Amino acid sequence: MQSREAPSSPTLIGRKPPVHLQVEDLRVQYRVAKGYLIAVDRISFEVSPGQTIGLVGESGCGKSTVGKAILRLLPEDAIVRGKVLLDGDDVLKMSDRELRSIRWTKLALVTQSAMNSLDPVYRIGDQIVESIVAHEDIAKAQAWARAEELFELVGISTERLRDYPHQFSGGMRQRAVIAMALSLNAGLLVADEPTTALDSIMQDQVLSRIRELQDAFHRSMILVTHDIGVVAETCQTVAVMYAGSIIEIGPTAVVLAEPFHPYTMGLRNAFPRIDDERHELISIPGTLPNLINPPQGCRFAGRCPFKTEHCEHVAPPLIQVGEGHRSACHYPERVVEFRARAQERQTWNGTQADIPTPVGAL
């Protein structure tokens, strides 16, 4: 419960400069039997040096796809358009060699399943050291010292560096992978559900350590998750995604305290609040719309308790609703009424329950 001091050792000081990321009009589609499945539909956002942005949304909204698109890790049949400018260079147009030079050094990735991608025949310490030495010109001993510090950071005793992956529990492996991702001090870390496999205490530990690192060394981070609690604790900015688009974006504290989009209001309702006794858990009925040849109007209209005819025909653009705060809803002027009604359970009962949309469309 007391915060630890940020590590100040020489091995961890970010020698790499912070990076600036600009995503412009990113689109990702897949060709399927019935047409085109639009996973990501014109997303734009910016990550300044030292900024942490959270991409929040339910499963299938496209948030993971965005993370993978930025790192060029999508499968070959993905059709990607738009620009991803890393310090001005478009990642989407880079050659394999250029990509290799920026991966791990400028960009790093931690995924949910990363803990299963550790090589079982090598010791964890060796794997971390190997990745450090492959990208940086430092001695093995120094790399090992850095690995030790990182393990301390994620709360694993350093003697475990000599163990093999199968000797770690799932939670420990995930933390080891996070340590590995941080080992090269990449300017931008993309973390895709990094703490989902961990229990609440471990999650709390890992998130606060990541936060300390970000603050101390001015690293940027894109945190992809379905859990707005995680975002609230770690990110300064949040982008709420729904069905492939960003429907609200702004400073986290503001967006969560004063949401403009009904979906954000719904997400807030669904989040368990241990501090507020009177809070009722309300879930948003229904599921994501069909992403193949998606509907004309607002994608959320099917599940929105405040929808109108207009919403079903015209897709709302992202408009400014506050300082650095944008929302994609046609009725920002009615937000006070929406917020009040959204807190009542019966508001959400009227919407369509269980639309039978086959989810396994890919």
Partner 1 sequence: MTAADATMHQPAAGGTAPTEGNPDPVIAASGLTKHFTIGGGLIASMLGKPGRVVKAVDGVDLAISQGEVFGLVGGSGSGKSTLGMTLVRLHRASAGTIRFRGRDVTNSRGAELKKYRREAQIIFQDPYGSLNPRLTIAQVVEEPLRIHGVRDKAERALRVVEALERVLIAPAEYLHRYPHELSGGQRQRIAIARAIVLEPKFIVADEPVSMLDVSVQAGILELLEKLSREMGLAILYVSHDIATVRYICDRVAVMLHGRIVEYGDAREVTSYPAHAYTRRLMAAVPSVDPAEKRKRLEMLNSLSSPAGATAGGGSEWIALGADHFVRHDAPHDVDR
The binding site for partner 1 (CB under 8 A) comprises: 1, 58-60, 169-171, 198-205, 207, 226-230, 232-233, 253, 256-257, 266-277, 281-285, 287, 353-354, 356, 358-360
Cα(8)–Cα(41) distance, integer angstroms:
42
Cα(106)–Cα(72) distance, integer angstroms:
13
Give me the phi and psi of 150, to 5 degrees please: -65, -40
Q: What share of the chain is helix, strand, coil (3-state, %, to 5)?
A: 40, 20, 40
Nearer to partner 1, 152 or 204 (CB): 204
Tokens of 272: 């368990």
Tokens of 360: 């396994």
Rounded least distance, CB 203 to partner 1, Å: 7
Which helix or strand (DSSP H or E) is residue 258 part of? Answer: none
Nearer to partner 1, 128 or 256 (CB): 256
Rounded least distance, CB 59 to partner 1, Å: 5
Rounded least distance, CB 33 to partner 1, Å: 15
Cα(360)–Cα(362) distance, integer angstroms:
6
Q: Which residues contact 81 (CB under 8 A, 6 or more apart)?
A: 25, 26, 27, 28
Rounded least distance, CB 192 to partner 1, Å: 14
Among candidate residues 27, 189, 41, 40, the one with its CA nearest the CA of residue 103: 189
Judged on CB neighbours under 10 Å (0-12, 13-18, 19+), 325 is middle
Q: Strands, E, within 48-167: which ranges?
A: 52-56, 78-86, 89-90, 107-110
Cα(318)–Cα(69) distance, integer angstroms:
22
Nearer to partner 1, 181 or 207 (CB): 207
Rounded least distance, CB 187 to partner 1, Å: 26
Task: List residues bridging with 223 in a β-sheet.
Answer: 54, 191
Tokens of 31: 């060709």
Nearer to partner 1, 207 or 213 (CB): 207
Rounded least distance, CB 237 to partner 1, Å: 15
Nearer to partner 1, 108 or 210 (CB): 210
3-state secondary structure of 213: helix
Rounded least distance, CB 309 to partner 1, Å: 26
Nearer to partner 1, 50 or 251 (CB): 251
Rounded least distance, CB 277 to partner 1, Å: 8
Nearer to partner 1, 134 or 270 (CB): 270
Give me the phi and psi of 299, to 5 degrees please: -65, -25
Tokens of 59: 């499963």
Give, as one character, the DSSP assignment of residue 226: S
Rounded least distance, CB 86 to partner 1, Å: 30
Cα(355)–Cα(323) distance, integer angstroms:
36
Nearer to partner 1, 161 or 206 (CB): 206
Nearer to partner 1, 146 or 303 (CB): 303
